[in-house]
């Protein structure tokens, strides 16, 4: 149970973040969910999932597309981390890990035509772990898998099954200490946004603005950006145009989505829009901004534990027809170490994978809005992160919206 009053008290605490407690809660979530499944264990390749499960990190972006480190969590709770050669020292002090072993890669880039051989060695080692720590099961949860790996596991008599649902369910609920850490990370992003805004001038390029944001984030302990979604003027409509060398003019609408991985690996995710050099917005810019702000506000108010995802979609703010074609990809998504479960589609996009579920207490979700007319000159992007408590949503971003645009 977490009430609004309790949540506000948690966020008012000033003690240093207890990262050991954060890691313990996360691993405990995985272990409890594993105990409810008939599986030998869980194997994780995604570096973000590895970090969630034990706290270990190593070249996060590079290892997203090169499978060369992984983590095993047995049904009995045993944690074995397989790290790149020469990198074992990076995780040696983590209390979440029982054993560190050298990783065996079967990625073509690393082992060339020996992939099948190396995958066989990997699968044999995993079979031994399953026998020792799997409580008699041959079923292995796995978050990501290459075809050569699946075949090798089959040859060992193991049954690989999709582990993504378990790890996403684990990540979706946060402890109070984890939320404190997430908000502390978010504050560095907000400070970076403010620093970027203070440096913006007409005549600068979009890429200059983005470089300010990234520099300020890294200086505050941030790690890397997941996107380059900062655009100006006519490049704000339609959305998802990546940052360019376009020269900005005073009065242009600047819109951006931070999408920054900040301190402690948290996804710092807010979106804001304003005019370059804070010139007085035009009537059309005000109209777009007002529409986006109303959408965000309406949808935040709907967030309650037990509300269904499809039910939310039915009750969500309805964009007028002229804005529907350019709607954003989703209305709400979970937020933690990245975009997480749940993901709420617009009703118009149900055929692309909309699913049901419920919002739960202690989820952190981001409420999204993009408003730009089909064929329009500009568009507004806003996004707010929210803590779902037992008796209502709590906005966790301190960076203000533009009150004088209303």
Task: Give the C-alpha separation, 285 to 168, whole Å.
Answer: 38
Helix (H) or strand (E) holding 339: strand 339-344
Find residue 260's DSSP bridge partners: 225, 268
pLDDT over 90 (residue 18): yes
Task: Give the C-alpha separation, 72 to 141, whole Å.
Answer: 10
Task: Give the C-alpha separation, 323 to 319, whole Å.
Answer: 6
- Give 392's contacts (C-beta < 8 A, 6+ positions apart): 4, 303, 304
CATH 3.90.230.10 residue ranges of the chain are 173-405
Give the pLDDT mean for 55-81.
95
Question: pLDDT tens-digit profile of 296-334?
Answer: 999 999 999 999 999 999 999 999 999 999 999 999 999
Which segments within 269-405 are labelled E, that is strand? 271-275, 332-335, 339-344, 364-371, 380-389, 392-395
Give the closest residue to 288 by CA, choosing from 345, 344, 236, 366. 236
What is the CATH class of 4-170?
A: alpha beta
Question: pLDDT tens-digit profile of 96-136?
Answer: 999 999 999 998 989 999 999 999 999 999 999 999 999 99
CA distances from 4 to 22, 117, 185, 309, 312 (A): 21, 55, 21, 22, 21
- Its pTM stands at 0.97
Instruction: Give the per-residue pLDDT at 237.
Output: 98
Provide, rounded to the nearest whole percent, the portion of the chain with pLDDT above 70. Answer: 100
- Range list of H helices, 302-356: 309-315, 321-324
Phi and psi, residue 293, nearest 5°? -65, -40
Query: CB of 135 within 8 A of CB of 101?
Result: no
Which segments within 76-164 are labelled E, that is strand? 79-83, 99-102, 139-142, 159-162
42: number of CA atoms within 13 Å, CB side?
Answer: 30
Instruction: Give the per-residue pLDDT at 233.
Output: 98
Collapsing DSSP to helix, strand or coil, 215 comes out as: helix
pLDDT over 90 (residue 181): yes
Instruction: Give the per-residue pLDDT at 299.
Output: 98
* Omega within 30 of 0 (cis) for the link into 342: yes
Instruction: Give the per-residue pLDDT at 1.
Output: 85
Give the pLDDT mean for 241-261.
98
Lowest mean pLDDT among 64-73, 255-264, 340-349: 64-73
Fold assignment, 173-405 = Creatine Amidinohydrolase (3.90.230)
Provide, rounded to the nearest whole percent, the portion of the chain with pLDDT above 90. Answer: 96
Query: CB of 44 within 8 A of CB of 36?
Result: no
Phi and psi, residue 79, nearest 5°? -115, 120
Task: Give the C-alpha separation, 340 to 162, whole Å.
Answer: 16
What is the token pair recorded at 9? 């008290």
pLDDT over 90 (residue 275): yes
Instruction: Give the per-residue pLDDT at 404.
Output: 86
What is the token pair recorded at 185? 């990370």
Instruction: Give the per-residue pLDDT at 58.
Output: 96
Residue 67 banded pLDDT, cuts 50, 70, 90: confident
Task: Give the C-alpha separation, 160 to 311, whole Å.
Answer: 34
- Give 351's contacts (C-beta < 8 A, 6+ positions apart): none
Query: CB of 388 within 8 A of CB of 360?
Result: yes
CATH 3.40.350.10 residue ranges of the chain are 4-170
Average model confidence (pLDDT) across the chain: 97
């Amino acid at each position: 149970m977490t009430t609004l009053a309790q949540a506000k008290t948690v966020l008012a605490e000033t003690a240093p973040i207890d990262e050991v407690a954060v890691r313990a809660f996360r691993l405990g979530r995985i272990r409890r969910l594993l105990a409810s499944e008939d599986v030998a264990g869980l194997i994780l390749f995604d570096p973000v999932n590895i970090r969630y499960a034990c706290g270990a990190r190593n070249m996060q972006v590079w290892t997203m597309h090169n499978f060369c480190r992984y983590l095993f969590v047995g049904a009995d709770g045993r944690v074995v981390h397989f790290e790149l050669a020469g990198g074992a020292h990076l995780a040696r002090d983590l209390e979440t890990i029982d054993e560190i072993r050298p990783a065996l890669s079967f990625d073509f880039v690393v082992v060339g035509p020996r992939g099948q051989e190396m995958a066989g060695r990997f699968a044999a080692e995993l079979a031994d772990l399953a026998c020792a720590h799997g409580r008699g099961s041959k079923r292995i949860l796995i978050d990501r898998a290459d075809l050569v790996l699946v075949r090798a596991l089959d040859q060992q008599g193991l049954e690989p099954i999709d582990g993504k649902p378990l790890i996403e369910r684990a990540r979706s609920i946060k402890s109070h200490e984890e939320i404190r850490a997430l908000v502390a990370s978010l504050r560095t992003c907000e400070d970076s946004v403010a620093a970027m805004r203070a440096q913006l001038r007409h005549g600068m390029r979009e890429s200059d603005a983005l470089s300010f944001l990234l520099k300020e984030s890294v200086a505050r302990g941030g790690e890397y950006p997941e996107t380059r979604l900062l655009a100006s003027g006519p490049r704000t409509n339609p959305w998802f145009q990546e940052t360019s060398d376009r020269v900005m003019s005073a009065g242009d609408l600047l819109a951006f989505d931070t999408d920054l991985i900040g301190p402690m690996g948290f996804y710092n995710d807010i979106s804001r829009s304003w005019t370059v050099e804070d010139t007085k917005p035009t009537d059309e810019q005000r109209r777009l901004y007002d529409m986006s702000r109303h959408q965000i506000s309406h949808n935040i108010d709907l967030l309650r534990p037990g509300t269904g995802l499809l039910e939310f979609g039915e009750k969500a703010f309805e964009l007028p027809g002229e804005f529907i074609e350019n709607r954003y990809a989703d209305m709400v998504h979970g937020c933690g170490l990245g975009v997480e479960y749940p993901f709420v589609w617009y009703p118009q996009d149900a055929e692309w994978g909309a699913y049901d579920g419920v919002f739960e207490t202690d989820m952190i979700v981001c409420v999204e809005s993009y408003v730009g007319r089909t064929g329009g000159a500009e568009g507004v992007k806003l996004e707010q992160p929210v803590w779902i408590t037992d008796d209502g949503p709590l906005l966790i971003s301190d960076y203000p919206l533009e009150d004088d645009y209303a």
